[in-house]
Each structure stands twice: as structure tokens, then as C-alpha cells.
């Protein structure tokens, strides 16, 4: 279920290993507040939460943007980014709770304010699919710092994590 939690944040369990070659890099997103709406389909074909999207927000700047797509740090032995223009793919081999995980993700940069993500996480128990839409909402909310993640409850930001925290590297 840990992978589902990470996928729901719109940042599939991916990671960069120091010295690992990447054929391409991803286009920079506009700095500010981004909302992710993610639907997760489990290996048996049922949709998590009855298909209701998990909605989260993130405060993105140039130093944190790529980290949101490559969270996991040393838990991945392979990461390859390919593509160009508006279409990219990310493939990785990682470890989650000591078990191997393969991830394939496609990203479509629809425009400067929208990114669509479709991904598959295979952890040996069958593929888990996710579909997410990331939307730019404007400036980060008061009190947020780049890398903050969470949700908005009653009009207020509720922080759940920061991509720069040591456990996310």
C-alpha cells in the first residue's frame, strides 16, 4: 500500500541513483501551486477509493520540480527518461520494502499548466495502474515552501510531507 500512497501524490515511486545516465530530462513546470488528481486501479481491476481521485497539492520551484517525478533516492537501481517535446516516458527498477518494483510512466505535457500521467507499477502482485492530471493553480499558498505536499481542507493547506525531507531522497 506504500506504493499506492506515493502514486496518489502523483509522484510514482521513482528514484535517481548518483551517476545514473538519463537520456533526457523533463520540461520544467511553472513554479507555484500544482494540484494532482490521481485514480489508482488495483491489480484485480478495481479502482481504489471507488474511482474517486486522490487530490493533493504541491509547491513546485525549479529545485524541486524533477524531484516530484523521481522521489525515492537510492531505492532505485535504474532510471531512464526518454522523449521530447510534450511526450516523455520514465522507466525504473526500484525496491520498496525490500521487494523489487518496476515502474513505467508516460507524461504528456498538454500545455504550460497541465500534465497528464499514466503509469504502471509492477511489484510482483500484478500491475497497479495510475492515471493523474496535474494542474497549475497559481502561486504557492501562504506558509508553503518549495517541496511542500499535502491537501487543502476548509480552504487551508494541510502539509503531509516535503519532497526535500531526508526520507524522500
Note if the pTM is more than 0.85. Answer: no
| pLDDT band of 13, cuts 50, 70, 90 | very low
Tens of pLDDT, residue by residue over 57-74, are 999 999 888 888 775 545
Contact call for residues 70 and 79 (beta carbons, < 8 A): yes
Break the chain into its structural domains and give their ranges. 2-161
158 is written with which cell numbers? Answer: 494541510
| Rounded CA separation 159/150 (Å) | 4
Tens of pLDDT, residue by residue over 82-123, are 999 999 999 988 888 888 889 999 999 999 999 999 999 998
Amino acid at each position: 500500500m506504500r506504493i499506492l500512497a506515493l502514486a496518489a501524490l502523483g509522484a510514482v515511486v521513482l528514484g535517481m541513483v548518483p551517476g545514473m545516465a538519463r537520456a533526457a530530462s523533463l520540461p520544467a513546470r511553472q513554479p507555484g501551486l500544482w494540484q494532482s488528481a490521481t485514480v489508482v486501479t488495483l491489480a484485480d481491476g478495481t479502482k481504489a477509493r471507488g474511482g474517486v481521485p486522490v487530490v493533493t497539492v504541491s509547491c513546485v520551484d525549479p529545485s524541486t520540480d524533477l524531484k516530484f517525478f523521481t522521489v525515492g533516492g537510492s531505492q532505485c537501481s535504474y532510471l531512464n527518461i526518454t522523449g521530447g517535446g510534450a511526450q516523455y516516458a520514465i522507466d525504473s527498477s526500484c525496491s520498496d520494502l525490500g521487494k523489487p518494483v518496476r515502474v513505467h510512466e508516460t507524461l504528456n505535457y498538454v500545455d504550460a499548466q497541465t500534465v497528464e500521467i499514466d503509469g504502471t507499477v509492477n511489484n510482483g502482485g500484478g500491475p497497479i495502474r495510475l492515471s493523474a492530471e496535474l494542474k497549475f493553480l497559481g502561486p504557492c499558498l501562504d506558509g508553503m515552501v518549495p517541496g511542500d505536499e499535502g491537501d487543502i481542507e476548509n480552504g487551508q493547506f494541510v502539509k503531509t510531507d516535503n519532497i526535500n525531507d531526508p526520507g524522500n531522497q
